[in-house]
Amino acid sequence: MTRQQLVEQIFKKRSYLCVGLDTDITKIPKHLLSQPDPVFTFNKAIIDATKDLCVAYKINTAFYEALGVKGWEAMEKTVRYIGDEHFKIADAKRGDIGNTSDQYAKAFFEFLPFDAITVAPYMGEDSVKPFLEYEGKWGIVLGLTSNKGANDFELKKMDNEFLYEKVLKTVSSWGSLDNLMFVVGATQADAFINIRKLTPDHFYLVPGVGAQGGSLKEISEKAMTEDCGILVNGSRAIIYASEEEDFADEARAIAQQYQHEMNQYLR
């Protein structure tokens, strides 16, 4: 999906919501466990209930990889079921020496029809570039994350600037506005003002709103651009809104709350 197509979807739906399909088989409603593929059955119901309210889905591959072959099969069925109207993100946090990243890129962009993949930048340019060489595909590079461990490296000073600032400035020259995004955690809301100065026109994938306490209003005020420029991810707050048979209806209700609020903030 191109940047223009993504922006068109955002303003058509009046939403910049990304639904995180971080599907933990131990947390899905128990009545689904008797299904041949409970993870896909759950995902399909969530997608059907939210597809008109969001523009993207993010699949955290760890929850699928942990289930072995069946998990990979569920992930493949899920990403293919989502279709082409939505921006499909593999939250895989890959990034290795060039020839290894080449293979990761083939796996997620050629074998699996993802539009984007999250990438760790700390092995340098040759570990990121392979993900930026596919037309219509995106690398979403970790910028400033919201976990406690961000203090270990990202928020350490290096030559009078934070390491994450150096990452943003350096990586932004490796790709373009059409194939490169950054992950910036919602719980780092105050940092968005400075981050926008460093990368004024890039899209950001913003996790941490909802269950992790990030404020949609704050993020929208501090990070939004004329073409929106942000995808706000909601995972647990949406997909685990209910443990009962009404789980899809409840997920839709939460997604609808996000969309209604986003509609107010879109310029």
Q: What is the pTM of this model?
A: 0.95
The letter for the amino acid at 122 is Y
Range of the domain at 133: 3-262
Q: Please report whether residue 267 resides in a domain.
A: no
Q: Residue 46: is its pLDDT beyond 90?
A: yes
Q: Looking at residue 249, which CATH number applies to its domain?
A: 3.20.20.70
What is the Cα 57 distance to its own chain's centre? 7
Q: Please report whether residue 169 resides in a domain.
A: yes
Please report the beta strands in the chain, taking only residues with DSSP state E, as ranges in sequence order. 17-20, 56-60, 87-94, 116-119, 138-144, 157-158, 161-162, 180-184, 203-206, 230-234
How far apart, in whole angstroms, are the C-alpha atoms of residue 34 and residue 42?
12
Q: Please report whether residue 176 resides in a domain.
A: yes
Q: Is 162 helix (H, G, I), strand (E, B) or coil?
A: strand
**Catalytic site residue 93?**
yes
Residues 6+ apart with CB under 8 A from 141: 118, 119, 120, 121, 128, 167, 171, 180, 181, 182, 183
How far apart, in whole angstroms, are the C-alpha atoms of residue 167 and residue 174?
11
**What would the two tokens of residue 209 be?**
């709103």
Q: Residue 234: is its pLDDT beyond 70?
A: yes
pLDDT at residue 210, rounded to an integer: 66
pLDDT average, residue stretch 78-94: 97
Q: Please report whether residue 215 resides in a domain.
A: yes
pLDDT at residue 137, rounded to an integer: 98
Q: Please report whether residue 64 resides in a domain.
A: yes
| Number of domains composing the chain | 1
Q: Please report whether residue 213 resides in a domain.
A: yes
Q: Please report whether residue 180 resides in a domain.
A: yes
Q: Please report whether residue 191 resides in a domain.
A: yes
Q: Which of 93, 129, 166, 222 does the annotation list as catalytic? A: 93
Q: What is the band of 212 on the pLDDT scale with cuts at 50, 70, 90?
A: low
Mean pLDDT check: name the lowest of 26-35, 72-81, 204-213, 250-259.
204-213
